[in-house]
């Protein structure tokens, strides 16, 4: 029970001591809410859904007047905001882009205060009752979030979580928005750059210029908190670009993450049914230079939960070896080389990626945004699928694997 006159602020964060003290100093009553963990083998979208569900139950039970949240992962931040949307609470993000690049996207969305202390902001909103988390999430704010995330080099995972938040807030059209904005969104500053430390998120958002919509935030309209003159751009912005490509005969689609100097990816497929086997093949030097590593079974229904292929990226870095990767999972944030990820439909949903075989020649035609293979179309159509759903039993992960939406639709429960 909060002391009279002290708004009750729920705090969802792995380490809440500093946030709790800040809430007290700002005149609020802190209520520490456990941040639930998820099994390590789950993918990022399943972890988000599990955490959001658990936080929602705690918020409805404990009844704080606002939520102050932080998390080390993009999935954790997205989960906390989703829980606040479901419960109709004001929510304030206390993360920094240096520790979690998804914080930049949430600043663009309006959930992270640009000038005010996050704890003080949460106490104020607990007393005022608005804006609620769901009030912030609308189409122009989502466009800001996409551009802000791309500006600090967020990977495909950020776009997946923003799609899920759009769905939570019942905002339509995000699928078209992400395909229109992301390929042309520029990188501005690296998360660990001195430039971002000096100018902060207000400077970053100011660099977006007229592309930044003047949307509602937890502190007011977003442009009220930007410097009058955008700072000069940094000398070493994040390199690379995104491109959506299609296998047009089947309707399949994937998101390419490309370094700035990359040409068209092409090569013979080296196919693996798990990230573990692909990483082992790289370490054992079983992957031929010039090939394309294909990893299936990593999508929302196959992993389950949409696996981010950190172990494969780590193996390639350790080996000093780089080839393009095609997967129905996710490219890691900041990954080197060419990644074609979030392939949809995934192999567990009988997507054509599950019909690729060792030695098939594959080319990514960036000019026409097309995925091309040398396999005979009739023979290709007769092949069985690699990569099956993990939906067994009646547990949480199994229920998710039976109904999960595609990656770029948020990979939420369907």
231 lies in some domain: no
Q: What integer pLDDT is reported at residue 357 of this predicted model?
A: 95
Residues of the chain with pLDDT under 50: none
Q: Residue 285 is part of a domain; what is its CATH number?
A: 3.50.30.80
Q: What integer pLDDT is reported at residue 1 of this predicted model?
A: 52
Q: What integer pLDDT is reported at residue 237 of this predicted model?
A: 85
Q: Tell whether 221 and 114 lie within a shared domain.
A: yes
pTM, rounded to two decimals: 0.96
Q: What integer pLDDT is reported at residue 239 of this predicted model?
A: 80
Q: Tell whether 247 and 221 lie within a shared domain.
A: no
Domain boundaries, position 359: 241-409
Say how many domains are in the chain: 2
**pLDDT tens, position by position, 396-410:** 999 999 999 999 999
Half-sphere exposure of 365 (CA within 13 A, CB side): 11
Q: Tell whether 191 and 256 lie within a shared domain.
A: no
Question: Angle at which helices 275-283 and 310-319 pack, to 10 degrees?
Answer: 0
Q: What integer pLDDT is reported at residue 78 of this predicted model?
A: 99
| Residue 61 phi, psi dihedral angles, 5° rounding | -75, -45
Q: Tell whether 363 and 278 lie within a shared domain.
A: yes
């Amino acid at each position: 029970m909060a002391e009279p006159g002290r708004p009750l602020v729920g705090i969802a964060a792995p380490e809440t001591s500093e946030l709790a003290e800040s809430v007290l100093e700002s005149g609020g009553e802190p209520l520490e809410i456990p941040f639930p963990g998820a099994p390590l083998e789950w993918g990022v979208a399943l972890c988000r859904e599990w955490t959001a569900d658990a936080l929602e139950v705690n918020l409805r039970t404990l009844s704080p007047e606002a939520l102050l949240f932080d998390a080390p992962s993009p999935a954790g931040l997205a989960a906390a905001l989703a829980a606040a949307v479901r419960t109709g609470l004001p929510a304030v993000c206390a993360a920094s882009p240096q520790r979690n690049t998804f914080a930049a996207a949430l600043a663009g969305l309006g959930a992270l205060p640009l000038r005010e202390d996050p704890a003080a902001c949460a106490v104020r909103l607990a007393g005022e009752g608005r804006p609620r988390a769901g009030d912030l999430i609308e189409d122009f704010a989502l466009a800001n979030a996409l551009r802000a995330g791309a500006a600090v080099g967020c990977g495909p995972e950020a776009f997946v979580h923003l799609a899920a938040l759009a769905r939570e807030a019942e905002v339509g059209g995000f699928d078209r928005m992400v395909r229109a904005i992301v390929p042309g969104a520029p990188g501005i500053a690296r998360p660990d750059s001195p430039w971002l430390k000096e100018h902060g998120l207000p400077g970053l958002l100011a660099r977006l210029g007229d592309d930044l919509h003047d949307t509602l935030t937890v502190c007011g309209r977003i442009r009220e908190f930007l410097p009058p003159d955008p700072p000069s751009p940094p000398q070493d912005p994040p390199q690379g670009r995104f491109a959506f490509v299609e296998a047009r005969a089947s309707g399949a689609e994937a998101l390419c993450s490309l370094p700035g100097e990359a040409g068209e990816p092409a090569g013979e497929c080296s196919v693996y049914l798990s990230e573990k086997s692909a990483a082992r093949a790289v370490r054992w030097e079983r992957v031929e230079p010039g090939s394309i590593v294909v990893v299936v079974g990593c999508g929302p229904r196959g992993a389950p939960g949409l696996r981010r292929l950190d172990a494969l990226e780590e193996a390639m870095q350790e080996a000093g070896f780089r080839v393009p990767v095609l997967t129905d999972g996710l490219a890691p944030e900041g990954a080197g080389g060419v990644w074609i990820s979030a392939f949809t439909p995934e192999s567990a949903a009988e997507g054509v990626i599950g019909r690729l075989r060792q030695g098939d020649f594959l080319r990514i035609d960036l000019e026409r945004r097309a995925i091309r293979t040398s396999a005979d179309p009739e023979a290709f159509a007769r092949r069985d699928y690699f990569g099956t759903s993990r939906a067994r039993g009646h547990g949480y992960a199994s229920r998710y694997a039976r109904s999960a939406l595609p990656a770029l639709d948020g990979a939420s429960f369907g």
